[in-house]
Amino acid sequence: MLSFSRSGRRQVLAAGTIASWVFLTNQHSVSFAAENKKGFLPVTDKTDGYEFVYPFGWQEVTVEGQDKVFKDVIEPLETVSVNVFPTVKQDIKEFGSPQQVAEVLIKKVLAPPTQKTKLIEAVEHEIDGKTYYTFEFVAKAPNYTRHALSTISIGNGKFFTLTTGANERRWGKMKDKLHTVVDSFKIFKV
């Protein structure tokens, strides 16, 4: 039977508190902020050099050809996925304007060719000197409409896409969470 004296328990608790403090103070500031986003879990890919958060309760699944995929187990259209492709381009602007790039990606990559798509908005923004394009779109299938957000950028010799979305009927409930996911995506040097 294992037993601790009062002073032994205090030492164990103190050591645990100190270890937690050291761990937290050594975290990368962006990751630290992501980890503390209530209701979200962080993902950091140190091989490809990106990070983002996804809603608590979603599970990682393997999808051939995609780097990372997380989805809600109850609502199958509520997902986030990251794709990574090699590129010789240095900046996303080399592909064209946010609207041009979004239109091509939506029609040729992000939605099946059988679905009707509509670009709602495409914007450019910069984070730590790196350009990102973020866009919102809908893809209509015969039996559902998916409302989605994507962000794309280039870094580490790679073209990154992060796409998240939900069934149109749940968009009102999910849009803030999905904006948090897409806004959390960052590329870092590896």
Model confidence over 48-71: pLDDT tens digits?
999 999 999 999 999 999 999 999
Q: Is the pLDDT of residue 72 over 70?
A: yes
Provide CB contacts within 8 A for 80, sequence distance 6+: 52, 54, 58, 68, 69, 70, 71, 162, 163, 164, 181
Tokens for 168, please give them.
């149109």
Q: Evaluate if pTM is beyond 0.85.
A: no
* pLDDT given for residue 59 in this prediction: 97
Secondary structure element (H or E) that encloses residue 34, with its range? helix 29-35
* pLDDT given for residue 36 in this prediction: 59
**Mean pLDDT within 146-166:** 97
Q: Phi-psi bin for 96: left (phi > 0), alpha (psi -120 to 50), beta?
A: left
Mapping DSSP onto H, E and C, the string for 55-66 reads ECCCEECCCCCC
| Higher per-residue confidence, 185 vs 11 | 185
* CATH no. of 37-187: 3.40.1000.10
* pLDDT given for residue 37 in this prediction: 80
The beta strand positions in 74-129, using DSSP E, are 79-86, 116-127
Contact between 82 and 71 under an 8 Å Cβ cutoff? The reply is: no
**Mean pLDDT within 127-147:** 96
* Domain range annotation of the chain: 1-28, 37-187
